[in-house]
Amino acid sequence: MTKILIIVSFLLIIGMMFIFFPGKNVYSIENKSGGFSDHIKFIRFSNENVAYQQVSNGQLDVYFFQIPLQLVETAKKNPNLKIYEKEGLSYGLLLNPSNSSNNFNPFSIKDIRFALNFLIDRNFIVNNILKGFGEPIAEPYGSTSPEYHNILPVIDQLKIRYDPNFAKEMINNAMLNVGSTKDSNGKFTLEGKPITIKILIRNDDLLRKSFGDYVASEIEKLGFTVMKEYGDLTKANRIVYGSDPAQLEWNMYTESLISNSFVRYNPGTVTQMYAPWFGSMPGSQNPLFWQYSNSTIDGLTQKLIFNNFTSEQERNELLQKAEAIGIEEAVRLFFARSYDPYISSSKIGGLINDYSAGIANKLSLLNAIKNGSDNNTLNVGMIQIFQGAWNNVKGCSDFYCRIIYSLIADSPTFSNPYTGDPEPMRNVWTSVISNGFNDKVNVSKNSIRWNPYGQIWETNEHVNNTALTKVTITPQYSNWHSGVPVDKYDILYSYYFPYEWSTKTENNDLTYDSEYASLVFPTLSLIKGVDFHDNGTFDTYVDLWHYDKKQVPSYGTLWPTEPWDITAATERLVMNNKLSYSKSDANIKGIDQLSLNLPVHSEMIKEELIRMINEKYIPNPLKGMVTLDYVLNRYNTSLEWITKHGNAVIGNGPYYLEEFNPAGGVVTLSAFRDGTYPIEVGSYSKFVNPPGLDIRKINVPKFIQIGKPFDFSIEMGVKNSSGELNPFIGSVNYIVTDRNDNLVIADKLTLNASKDVDNSFDSVNSSLTQTSLVNIHLNSTQTSELVPGPSKLKLIITTFDSPKPMISENTLIARP
């Protein structure tokens, strides 16, 4: 929920009309906005077996965690249940590469880190720990990502595989080079001391613990002395992400990461997983900590994030280079991704099965509806309900906060669950001007930017700035949950905040958070100004361009996630070292990380608001723009909310926070049935039925002659939401490797609607079935690089309507 605001489509970063429900629908949606349910309860069920029974008997409506894998087949036969599969956790390792401590750290050596790719058996994890519900991975995207075909050549070239002997040889050689020997028990020692690996293992559930125990066992077999420590995300936030790596409180952490959103272009994943500047690598970009640094991958990923490329080819080459360096550096490694079975009651309709998040997403909860019941409370089970701070700056980093908070505070855009393209939610794009990577527009003389040094708004009157993109936006205003309207000044304050809190104006700058700044400060140079108009619209100017025009409008989005007065109060608390926005800053100062849902922090905000009233305080970015009466009304309104509700979580979304009871394991949201809220009930029903790729036949000859042309074909179509089959429009990436796993051919064929369409009539279904016959030709130059023996042909097929890949592998016999 970070306040980056502009270029929101890249960084978090934190996815209508027709539904058929059997039986009687007891709800009237007349004059309703937001979601179908009047209340949504998130209830902690840490025992998945109990949760399964609760959904089966109707006490729970849906469970947002995987059910025990041994119950999947039973669930499929249970008439009371519906089962959904989603991308689950990525199981991997975060290694501490610090070399600045008096104690030797083996993972400060790159070869040892990289060797773990060959030591850990990915198939064992998938087959024995995940019970087949997953796939082996060596990178963070996985085979269901639209980026998969772009990074696959890199993965193939690195030849990552399970080869424990190769791994042991690499590690033994590296240890020998630093003077390590093995004692009589086969344990590594250095200067007579055993070399110890401290491994923090997530034990939130049995699968995480099993993965960690397996990794620890393999590390111990190498000859290291292993110290295992168990803990949940809260403990990991303190020890791993919030401590100085040089203190070596940990050497290895068994990460389990939630899959990223399904987006067509996803440079954020390679950036977050590998680039130090993003703030998620060891050191967290806190200047008081030792830092892992890599200027090369920082430069590559910043070019990707900020669209500093001139073509699709250049962009994909940047992605491949960044991915290759990230894997080779091996500070963060990946081994398996789970495919988690989620369940809902069969009485629940309208769930939207997002290609990445599955049914655990905002649109799904808004569109969920019960049949044959007068109970309009949706009961959602989760394994946890609170594991980290709730704040909109550097909090809300866990899944549990993100899913709940997404219903409380709207975002300006959302990602289409099947195309991965940005669509407007609270910003309507009235006009977009963005022509080419060198085609600039003049920035309005009236546009403004915040100057944190002078504490003033500066206009463009004497600067003559230009920008690559101009977006005219009509914001979809409504009331805050506290009752006052969202207005221009809320947007203005959210625009001010990143300048103020990511710019270090002096050594003891009190309005600076280094962890936040590492992520936000590099974006500021791309923001060229915002110009507010009297008719309620505003223009944003951004130095970003993309060859895909669908991506451009989201670059200029602006939207607040909380009232400016709440932000102003928390600023004062952070400036006075009473609370902190980020976990690393909180750990350094020995104070709490701000959490708006906690009563004790809410009370601190309440007391600060009272002081602001007594001082007649007007924040610098609003001075000269607003009246004192307006300001005092804002403070008093938020005071009333906190007094009544016991929390400072004031949003502008379809639900408000009614009850936060972590001890009782319940978070209750109530519908914000306010006439100003602009999104009507059922607005996202069009996403219930996803599009689908229907491959009828793949015609690939068994033999391929070296140095001769080779042709094959694919017959396929695309199903729309009504089940009709339309011609294929999309891309086929084809990759050929030889018997030694060397990459020989990597190419792509893109088809539009006018090519290779074969219309045929399906007499059984009495419908027109339109398929495409896609013909692919390999020329003699391409096949001449093959060597005799078995080769592999991998096809990665995506459609324009849905870029989720469908993958097919074929074995070819190459012969002279």
pLDDT digits (tens, 9 = 90+) for 292-320: 999 999 999 999 999 999 999 999 999 99
Please give the sequence-ordered ranges of beta strands (E in DSSP) within 158-195, or none if there are none: 181-182, 188-190, 193-194
For residue 46, pLDDT beyond 60: yes
**Quick check: is 486 in a domain?**
yes
Are residue 596 and residue 727 in the same domain, yes or no?
no
> What's the confidence (pLDDT) of residue 587?
87
> What's the confidence (pLDDT) of residue 146?
92
**CA distance linking residue 370 with residue 349, whole number of Å:** 6
For residue 766, pLDDT beyond 50: no
Q: Is the dihedral of CA 450, 452, 455, 458 positive or negative?
A: negative
**CA distance linking residue 387 with residue 563, whole number of Å:** 24
Are residue 752 and residue 653 in the same domain, yes or no?
no
**CA distance linking residue 450 with residue 452, whole number of Å:** 6
**Quick check: is 523 in a domain?**
yes
The pair phi, psi for residue 413, each rounded to 5°, is: -135, 170
Find the range with the poorest average confidence among 73-87, 383-397, 740-754.
740-754
For residue 62, pLDDT beyond 60: yes
Are residue 645 and residue 789 in the same domain, yes or no?
no
Please give the sequence-ordered ranges of beta strands (E in DSSP) within 608-665, or none if there are none: 655-661
Tell me the residue range of the domain where 657 lies: 424-665
For residue 261, pLDDT beyond 90: no
Are residue 586 and residue 712 in the same domain, yes or no?
no
**CA distance linking residue 423 with residue 176, whole number of Å:** 56
Residue 228 in tokens = 């295992």
**CA distance linking residue 385 with residue 665, whole number of Å:** 7
| Under 8 Å between Cβ of 500 and 568 | no
Residue 348 confidence class, pLDDT cut points 50, 70, 90: very high
Are residue 649 and residue 697 in the same domain, yes or no?
no
> What's the confidence (pLDDT) of residue 205?
82
Are residue 758 and residue 617 in the same domain, yes or no?
no
Most confident range (mean pLDDT) of 668-672, 744-748, 749-753 is: 668-672
Question: Which positions ≥6 away from 219 have C-beta within 8 Å?
Answer: 119, 197, 199, 226, 252
> What's the confidence (pLDDT) of residue 801?
83
**Quick check: is 635 in a domain?**
yes
**Quick check: is 284 in a domain?**
no
For residue 462, pLDDT beyond 80: no
> What's the confidence (pLDDT) of residue 393?
95
| Under 8 Å between Cβ of 593 and 395 | yes
What is the per-residue pLDDT across 131-184, written as a single tens digit (0 to 9) for each?
Answer: 999 999 999 998 889 999 899 888 888 889 999 999 999 999 999 999 999 998
How many domains is the chain partitioned into structurally?
3
> What's the confidence (pLDDT) of residue 100?
72
**Quick check: is 310 in a domain?**
no
Q: What is the CB-side half-sphere exposure of residue 812 using CA atoms within 13 A? A: 29
DSSP 785-813: T--SEEEEEEEEEEESS----EEEEEEEE
> What's the confidence (pLDDT) of residue 769?
59
For residue 796, pLDDT beyond 50: yes
**CA distance linking residue 35 with residue 32, whole number of Å:** 8
Percent of the chain with pLDDT over 70: 93
> What's the confidence (pLDDT) of residue 772?
83
Are residue 769 and residue 804 in the same domain, yes or no?
yes
For residue 11, pLDDT beyond 50: no
Residue 81 in tokens = 């249940």
**CA distance linking residue 388 with residue 519, whole number of Å:** 19
Average pLDDT estimate for 528-539 = 95
Are residue 660 and residue 713 in the same domain, yes or no?
no
Q: Which of 337, 356, 378 is the last residue of a domain?
A: 337
Nearest in space to 529 (alpha carbons), one of 626, 422, 438, 457: 457
Q: Which of 337, 361, 389 is the last residue of a domain?
A: 337
**CA distance linking residue 296 with residue 321, whole number of Å:** 10
Are residue 653 and residue 748 in the same domain, yes or no?
no
**Quick check: is 197 in a domain?**
yes
**CA distance linking residue 573 with residue 592, whole number of Å:** 11
Average pLDDT estimate for 522-539 = 94
For residue 6, pLDDT beyond 50: no
Average pLDDT estimate for 393-418 = 94
**CA distance linking residue 192 with residue 764, whole number of Å:** 79
For residue 282, pLDDT beyond 90: yes
**Quick check: is 649 in a domain?**
yes
> What's the confidence (pLDDT) of residue 288?
87
Residues paired with residue 150 on neighbouring β-strands, in sequence order: none
**CA distance linking residue 502 with residue 303, whole number of Å:** 20
CATH number, domain at 164? Answer: 3.10.105.10
For residue 9, pLDDT beyond 60: no
- What b/e sequence results for 8-26 when a residue is b if at least 16 CB atoms lie within 10 Å of its CB, and e otherwise? bbbbbbbbeeebeeeeeee
CB atoms within 10 A of CB 297: 24
What is the per-residue pLDDT across 626-659, written as a single tens digit (0 to 9) for each?
Answer: 999 999 999 999 999 999 999 999 999 999 999 9
What are the C-alpha distances in Å from 94 to residues 122, 143, 155, 236, 253?
A: 16, 21, 19, 11, 5
Average pLDDT estimate for 551-564 = 94
**CA distance linking residue 567 with residue 293, whole number of Å:** 32
Task: Report the chain's C-alpha Rg in angstroms.
Answer: 27
CATH number, domain at 729? Answer: 2.60.40.2550
Q: Which of 337, 360, 388 is the last residue of a domain?
A: 337
Are residue 758 and residue 799 in the same domain, yes or no?
yes
Average pLDDT estimate for 664-692 = 94
For residue 754, pLDDT beyond 60: no
> What's the confidence (pLDDT) of residue 30?
56
For residue 340, pLDDT beyond 50: yes
> What's the confidence (pLDDT) of residue 375?
65
Are residue 120 and residue 232 in the same domain, yes or no?
yes
H/E run at residue 89: strand 81-95
Find the range with the poorest average confidence among 84-88, 180-184, 246-250.
84-88
Task: Give the chain's mean pLDDT.
Answer: 90
Residue 678 confidence class, pLDDT cut points 50, 70, 90: very high
Are residue 519 and residue 633 in the same domain, yes or no?
yes
> What's the confidence (pLDDT) of residue 259?
66
**CA distance linking residue 169 with residue 179, whole number of Å:** 15
> What's the confidence (pLDDT) of residue 370?
87
For residue 539, pLDDT beyond 80: yes
What are the C-alpha distances in Å from 415 to residues 350, 532, 677?
A: 18, 26, 20
Q: What's the predicted TM-score (pTM) here?
A: 0.84
| Under 8 Å between Cβ of 367 and 685 | yes
> What's the confidence (pLDDT) of residue 179?
94
Average pLDDT estimate for 685-698 = 89
**CA distance linking residue 270 with residue 322, whole number of Å:** 7
Question: Which positions ≥6 away from 794 have C-beta within 8 Å?
Answer: 152, 734, 735, 736, 737, 807, 808, 809, 810
Average pLDDT estimate for 454-472 = 91
**Quick check: is 279 in a domain?**
no
